[in-house]
Each structure stands twice: as C-alpha cells, then as structure tokens.
Amino acid sequence: MALASCCAALSNALPGNVFLPNSNTYASANSNRWSGTSSLSPSCVVLPGSTQDVAAALQVLTQNGRPFVVKSGGHMAKPGFNNIDGGVSLDLSRLNSVELSGDLRTTRLGTGAEWQRVYDNTPGVVVPGGLCGGTGVGGVSLGGGMSIFLAGVGWTANNVVDFEVVLANGTVVHATPNTNPDLFMALKGGGADFGVLTHITITNAQLTNFIYAGQVLNGLTDRSSQALLRVLTRYTTANNRDPGAGMQTIFKLGSNGKNEVETLYGHRAGLNAMIPVPFLSPAIFNELLGVLPQTVAFAAPAPMNILSNMAQDGLATITFQDDQATIEAVHKVTSDICKQVVDIPNLDCFWSYVPLSDIVTANSLKRGGNVLGLERKRIDRMVVFFSPRWLDPQYDARMSNVSQAWYSQAKAATVAQGTADDFFYLNFAGGFQDPISSYGADNVNFLQRVAARYDPQGVFQKLMPGGFKLPQGY
C-alpha cells in the first residue's frame, strides 16, 4: 500500500487525528522538536488522543507494512530517531495527562507529556523525572532517566510501577513486577524496542514538593575548571553517604566568547524536613559553594519546577570510573575539541558531568533492578554528555565528525588512565554508539528473548527505523 493510502487508512481508523503536510497542525507538530537535525518530512502526522487510538494506528501500520516513528517529548537530536522521511510519525504529544493518586504516593502520566508539565501539575510531591523540563516522559523513562534524585531513588525507570504498552499487534498490555514481569524488566533501559509506551505510573520521590535547589554560575577559567573537577570527583564519593543530594555540572565554550560553567544541585530534604530558618545548605555542597567566587547564584528551598527549567543537551557520551586524573584528562580533550569549533557562528560547545555513584545502582537494585548492567561493577562512575549546539545546518556534517572525534579521544583518555567503563547512557548516546551492547551479553540476550516474545514479527526492529536497535549476533 502506498504511503498516501496508508495515511488515508489511518484517517479512517482515527478520524480527526491524522494530519497531512498541507495542514497547520502537521507543521506545528512536526517542528515541535528540540533539535533542527531531527526535522524531517513524514507523509502524515498521527496525533492519537488515547491508548486505543495508538492501538488502532499500530494495527493499520503493521497490516500495511508501513514504516513509522514514535515521538514523545522530541528531545532526541539524532536524525530519524523521533521523526521520519516519507513514513508515518506517531506523535504522542496529546497523551499528556498527569494524574496524582489520592494518597499522593504515585502519579500516572501520559508518555507524551513533558516533565515540566508534570512538575507544574503535581503540587505537593516530587516526581523523579528529567532535570530538563522540555524532555519527554516516554524517551526519558525508556532509556533509564536521570533525575536530580538519581542517587536517592535510582533511575527514573526504577520508580515506575506500571508501564502501559501497545504491542506491535495492537494489544494493550500492562507490565508490572507481577504482570508480564519480563517486559517490565526490559522496559527499564531497553528503549523503544518492545512496543509503544502510552502511560506510566511512577512512585513519587517524596511527599512534599519543596526541595533544596541551587544554581552556581562561574566564569570558565583554568582555575575554576580545576576546582570544580575536584569538587565533582569528591562529591561523587560523598553522594554514597548522602544520597539525598543531586548535582550536575555543565561547561560551555561559546563562539561569542562566552565561556561559563553552571552547576545545578538539589537535595531531597524538603523545607520542613531539614532546613532551619534561615536555611542552611546541606553540608555535601559546602565545597562547591566555598571554592569559588560565584558570578550568579541562588540557593533556596524551591519547588521542583524551578530546577527543571535550567538544564542542557547532547550528542555523544562516555562513562569512566570516578577519578581525579581521569576527569582532568577528559576535560582537556573536550576543551581542546571545543576550541577547534568555536569559529562556527552561534555555536555553544556544551558538555556536562553527571555523577553516577554506586548508591544509584544500590537504590535501583532495591527497586527491582534494570537492564543497564551497572551492577556488574560496583564502583562510582562519572557520565559525560558531550552536547554542542549550533544553528546553521551547513555545519551538521562537520559537527557529526567532531562528536565522533570527541568520543574516540575522550574514550582513549580514560583507557590510558585505566579507568574506562563500558556503559553508554542510551539517552545521551550518539547515533554511532551502541548503548544496548554496553549493558553486557546477558542483558542483550534477555532483551532479545523479550522482544521475540512480545514482538515476534520484529516490527520495532524493522518497521520502525528510529531508536537504538537490539544488537544482532548474540
């Protein structure tokens, strides 16, 4: 069946929810993506209004063998991951419900919601979702999910108690610890390989929405870099003893000469729980706050939605064992690469460090574990997210090379220090990386068995080109 007639069949199955390139709704839905590199031209955009709509759409697509893509928050920048040329774009942005349970312990979310919307609509609790408010519930949860409370409650996916999924044949299933437990496990890191995730029910991180939140902005100099790298290394160890704390540091070299480093930090302890008036910063942040003169700073008990307005993005990732000499070596490689591209107009060369202390794995295991494979090595890790941004597409090819060069040089620096780690966080990985293989052979085998059971025709491997596929040959 030709694509035009597939879009017509979808229109019949989902009247009022299918939009062709000549419509305003198509244009606004199609451009509602974080990165220009993911702007492509689907034959039609489907905006399902319910789980049943998703099921009906998948039935039409699989019966007709038409290529499609799924989009939630649209934050993945890799071309073809959340959009498609010529195929059908299944855009979940209307599935954006946010329902707090009566006892406030859990929240049920439509996967098309952005996290900012979740935080804005959950007064009284903190939901452990993406730090950047524009990221989507769907993509963040399926890849693992790093919230500011990563150490305290483990990965976002580890707090999900119910995944509602539409399988390739249009059947709606729930995956919980007791129902379809193999699918439940696979969805905690396995990405878009098993079905279309329509809703999740997630355990709230705490029953007060006040967290201790702060931001420190420093000028980027050799001195501030050295000081902050030391803080990050030591903080990663200290986080094991005070897992209520969260921190991310984002460096930026800009073509406009604006070089900055921003640290976002938070603590789960709420206003009432621990902070006297005038409030004191939790001790774990003393070194961060004492080390440098700050150009801009705020620190206050604040609702979660303040912090979620402030974070950044990326194109490639590595992980290494938390170590001072290694972070310095990686930092040098990254700064040198960024300096080579600041001739590109309107470019900001961003990279961030996310501490991944062993306590994250401990707290994820307590909640039933996941498929990321981190428990194979009980160490403190540091994740690096290389995420340059630029405006003019004529530089896309050059920047794609730069991101691969960054990856190989940064990885080599960790290997030289003897602190390299295999893990690639799927949600930060470049299209040239293979995050699922980094979970280890046992997890890959498991994921393949689960995919064979729930998607026997391999629809999500073959008909949906976007997303990191399951590795072959295991």
Other CB atoms within 10 A of residue 228 CB: 25
Instruction: Report the residue from 79, 128, 138, 369 that binds ligand FAD according to the rule CB under 6 A.
Output: 138
Q: How many CA atoms lie within 13 A of 371 on its CB side?
A: 28
Instruction: Report the residue from 56, 146, 382, 384 that binds ligand FAD according to the rule CB under 6 A.
Output: 146
Interface residues for ligand NAG in 448-467 (CB under 6 A)? 454, 456
Other CB atoms within 10 A of residue 271 CB: 17
Is 30 among the residues that bind ligand FAD (CB under 6 A)? no
Closest contact distance (angstroms) between CB of 196 and ligand NAG is: 13
Is 189 among the residues that bind ligand FAD (CB under 6 A)? no
**Nearest CB to ligand NAG, comparing residues 238 and 450:** 450
Preceding omega of 278 cis (within 30 degrees of 0): yes
Closest contact distance (angstroms) between CB of 174 and ligand NAG is: 13
**Closest CA relative to residue 425, chosen from 398, 380, 386, 367:** 386
**Nearest CB to ligand FAD, comparing residues 315 and 413:** 315
Show the binding pattern over residues 294-323: x = contacts ligand FAD (CB under 6 A), - = does not. -----------------xxx----------
* Helices 3-13, 51-64: crossing angle, 10 deg rounding: 150
End-to-end CA distance of the chain: 34
Is 167 among the residues that bind ligand FAD (CB under 6 A)? no
Q: Give the interface segment with ligand NAG, choosing from 32-40, 72-80, 156-164, 167-175 (CB under 6 A).
A: 167-175
Closest contact distance (angstroms) between CB of 278 and ligand FAD is: 30
Interface residues for ligand NAG in 127-156 (CB under 6 A)? none
Q: How many residues interact with ligand FAD (rule CB under 6 A)? A: 34
CB 165 within 8 Å of CB 187: yes
Instruction: Report the residue from 60, 186, 197, 231 that binds ligand FAD according to the rule CB under 6 A.
Output: 197
**Nearest CB to ligand FAD, comparing residues 143 and 430:** 143
Residue 34 binds which of ligand FAD, ligand NAG, none (CB < 5-8 A, kind-dependent) = ligand FAD
CB 72 within 8 Å of CB 111: yes
Is 51 among the residues that bind ligand NAG (CB under 6 A)? no
Instruction: Report the residue from 51, 169, 281, 321 that binds ligand NAG according to the rule CB under 6 A.
Output: 169
**Nearest CB to ligand FAD, comparing residues 193 and 323:** 193
**Phi, psi (deg, nearest 5) at residue 16:** 85, 0
Is 179 among the residues that bind ligand NAG (CB under 6 A)? no
Residue 438 binds which of ligand NAG, ligand FAD, none (CB < 5-8 A, kind-dependent) = none
User: DSSP of 370-432, one letter per residue?
Assistant: -SS-GGGS---EEEEEE--B-S-GGGHHHHHHHHHHHHHHHHHHHHHHT-EE----GGG--TT
Closest contact distance (angstroms) between CB of 416 and ligand FAD is: 28
Q: How many CA atoms lie within 13 A of 273 on its CB side?
A: 14
**Nearest CB to ligand FAD, comparing residues 176 and 226:** 176
List Cβ neighbours of 415 (8 Å cut-off, separation of 6 or more). Answer: none
**Closest CA relative to residue 263, chosen from 231, 216, 221:** 216
Is 409 among the residues that bind ligand NAG (CB under 6 A)? no
CA distances from 76 to 81, 92, 194, 315, 371 (A): 7, 14, 18, 9, 21
CB 142 within 8 Å of CB 197: yes
Specify the amino acid at residue 273.
A
Instruction: Report the residue from 401, 416, 418, 462 that binds ligand NAG according to the rule CB under 6 A.
Output: 401
Three-state DSSP class for residue 206: strand
Q: Give the interface segment with ligand FAD, choosing from 73-81, 102-110, 274-282, 374-382 (CB under 6 A).
A: 73-81
Give the interface with ligand FAD as residue ranges (CB under 6 A).
34, 69-76, 81-82, 92, 111, 130-132, 135-136, 138-140, 142-143, 145-146, 192, 196-197, 311-313, 427, 466-467
Give the interface with ligand NAG as residue ranges (CB under 6 A).
167, 169, 171, 397-398, 401, 454, 456
